[in-house]
Amino acid sequence: MDVVHLLPDNVANQIAAGEVIQRPASCLKELVENSIDASATRIQVIVRDAGKTLMQVIDNGKGMSPTDVRMAFERHATSKISNASDLFHLHTMGFRGEALASICAVAQVEVQTRREEDEMGTRLLINGSDVISQEPCSCPVGTNFKVKNLFYNVPVRRKFLKTDQTEMRNILTDFYRIVLVYPKIQFTLIHQDEIVLDLTAGTEKQRIEAIFQHSPRQSFTSQLLDIRCDTDLVSIRGFVGKPEAAGKNAQQYFFVNGRYMRHPYFHKAVMTAYQGMLQAEDNPSYFIYFDIDPEAIDVNIHPTKTEIKFSDEQPIFQIILASVREALGKFNIAPSLDFDTKGKIDMPVQTQAPRPGQLERPVTTRNTTYNPFKAHAIHLPATDWQPMYEKVAEAEQSLFADLDEIGKCYQYAGRYILLNTRKGLMVVDQHRAHAHVLYTTYYHQMEQAQSVSQQLLFPEVWEITLEDTILVEQIRYDLQQVGFDLEQLDKTAYSVLGIPPRMEVSAAIATLQQMLDDVRDTDTNVRENCRRKIALRLAYETAIPYGKILSDDEMEQLIKDLLSLPDYRTSEDGKTVVSFFLSEEIEKRF
Ligand code: ADP
Ligand code: MG
């Protein structure tokens, strides 16, 4: 008996859908691109539950005939190319005829569509590739797509969808990549009956402003410089950010022939142009649009891939580099820059608390071959190591008993607290120790919902991007529990009315921003992880800094607080807080 057979269409479509439609964002992208290809000038997107329940795209494009709309859902059905050579003269976003077939395989789809020349439109219902009904209907010219309950028939895929916040962020990310290329098309994005974006037709610059402007008070595009360069090989135009506006939340976009692309090599060209103008961690924003003969790029790319191959990447690298340099130089920015990098050199004694990421080892001389808590202790001969380790563990266990006898604490190098214990010398990192204690307090505060806040006389304004507002709302309650009292000012700004008790007003906004960055990529167990990250960030920000001279009482209190923690040796982020030098180990040195 022969065993090879073709898969039924609906099964084949479902498999293919796995590639094209990974999440609500990719489904919406396909629908919106189809509307653009249909020459729509107005596109409205309506989303429920981050697209899991409903994604609706309404356009005023050319619509479809009753036969075409039925055909459109077949695999490889497209009106956009007819033969292979068409591939090299593409002017549309789609061309493979895969998207609709894939979408209808994994969702419940309803379409209403009408062409200008038709009196009546068509209404078509498809559930998981099965056509349920097709009938004439009256509807406006254009197409109205509803995609409901994505992956309703593929529970495994549905289960793997992320939280609404994450899926909505993905939708926005993809949406930006499209609307930035089509400023002449009017777009609206509505989520849970609220208008998230309302973009009127205009220029590229106006579109960028409408999306990234932080608030009516702060123009985004005034921080951009124009670039433009026309060569036989490629035309480049767009905008690059002024170096002084560079920061952590840079917006970086490349588009080629009307399509978003990622291109690490060209990115490097842009960054090279900025060389010497940026502080270490800062990134410039850029929006660069390439126009190139479609034959010079690999067009037959997969719809979900954003990386595009060019046949002449090296000369284009040089063109980008020169254009960006010219834009930066034109305004005489380069010579006037004088960044102070000296402040960043790590000093053994610092007067300010460094950021957690910057906690460097102090310049001290000590024997690093012996530390019973680190893996490198294994370098000791095995025979020595085992009993030594046991002794340290024992010493620690008896610490509580020893505590009354500790007596005086000594501060060393403005960073460490030294303590005599019966078994040896205990060395405590003062900043980490305090951060460790505070972390526990903050985390507990969030769990217990005990809010303590110092109210500000003059509220600070915290400006964020529209994307980030979703994130802020997600962690707002926890921020409140540790003392951040926020009030929404407008779509992209919060008024900070209160901050945590030990915090400096001047550090509040930067800390909030860092907290946001910390939790940005948190996906699983969101609540728990966010809390940990918020508590940790805040703890480091408000802990006793290095270089601060401590009184005997302060040191004693800190040590007591520290030792009352279940695991006082290691911080939440895995740093060593306490180290021991056993008496025997010290004696061996003499
Ligand atoms: P592709 O876009 O690659 O051609 P799709 O599966 O996305 O494949 O769409 C199939 C066809 O359906 C398109 O070629 C187009 O003719 C038609 N179509 C899809 N969406 C629309 C729309 N919003 N308006 C008009 N025609 C559409
Ligand atoms: Mg398409």
Q: How far is the CA of 61 from the centre of ligand 1 (A)?
A: 11
CB 270 within 8 A of CB 328: no
Give the environment of ion ligand 2: residues with CB less than 5 A. Answer: 34, 94, 99
Q: How far is the CA of 136 from the centre of ligand 2 (A)?
A: 24
Q: Which two tokens stand for residue 477?
A: 């309650």
pLDDT on residue 588: 87
pLDDT on residue 277: 86
pLDDT on residue 370: 38
pLDDT on residue 396: 55
Ligand 1, residues 33, 65, 100, 124: which to mutate, most atoms within 8 A of Cβ?
A: 100
Per-residue tens of pLDDT for the chain, all 590 residues: 777 777 777 777 676 666 678 899 999 999 999 999 999 999 999 999 999 999 999 999 999 999 999 999 988 777 777 776 666 666 677 667 788 998 999 999 999 999 999 999 999 999 999 999 999 999 999 999 999 999 999 888 888 888 898 899 999 999 999 999 999 999 999 999 999 999 999 999 999 999 998 767 778 999 999 999 999 899 999 999 999 888 887 899 999 998 899 888 899 899 989 988 888 778 899 999 999 988 888 766 565 667 788 888 889 999 999 999 989 885 444 433 333 333 333 333 333 343 444 443 333 333 334 333 333 333 333 344 445 555 555 555 555 445 555 578 899 988 999 988 777 888 999 999 999 999 988 888 877 777 778 888 888 889 988 888 888 888 888 888 888 999 988 888 899 998 988 788 888 898 898 888 888 776 555 677 777 888 888 899 889 999 889 998 899 889 988 988 878 888 888 888 988 888 888 888 88
178-207 in b/e burial notation, b at 16+ Cβ within 10 A?
bbbbbbebbbbbbbeeeebbebeeeebbeb
Q: Are strands 42-48 and 186-191 parallel, antiparallel or unpaired?
A: parallel
Give the position, in ligand 1's atom list, of the atom nearest the Cα of 103: 6
Q: How far is the CA of 94 from the centre of ligand 1 (A)?
A: 8
User: pTM for the whole thing?
Assistant: 0.61
- The set of protein residues with a Cβ atom below 6 angstroms from ligand 1 is 30, 34-35, 37-38, 59, 61-64, 72, 77-80, 94-100, 143
Residues 6 or more apart whose Cβ sits within 8 Å of residue 27: 21, 51, 55, 103, 107, 147, 150
Amino acid symbol at 186: Q
299 vs 296: CA distance, rounded Å = 9
Closest residue to atom 27 of ligand 1, CA basis: 34
pLDDT on residue 526: 64
Dihedrals φ, ψ of 405, to 5°? -90, 0
Q: Which two tokens stand for residue 404?
A: 């009354």
3-state helix, strand, coil in the chain (%, to 5): 40, 25, 35
pLDDT on residue 15: 67
Q: How far is the CA of 150 from the centre of ligand 1 (A)?
A: 19
Closest residue to atom 19 of ligand 1, CA basis: 34
pLDDT on residue 298: 76
* Residues pairing with 56 in the sheet: 46, 146
96 vs 24: CA distance, rounded Å = 20
H or E stretch at 159:
helix 155-159
Q: Which two tokens stand for residue 322?
A: 């020169």
38 vs 24: CA distance, rounded Å = 21
576 vs 570: CA distance, rounded Å = 5
- Ligand at minimal distance from the CA of 35 is 1
Q: Reduced to 3 states, what is the DSSP secondary structure of residue 161?
A: coil
Closest residue to atom 20 of ligand 1, CA basis: 34
pLDDT on residue 399: 52
Give the torsion sign (CA, 147, 148, 154, 156).
positive
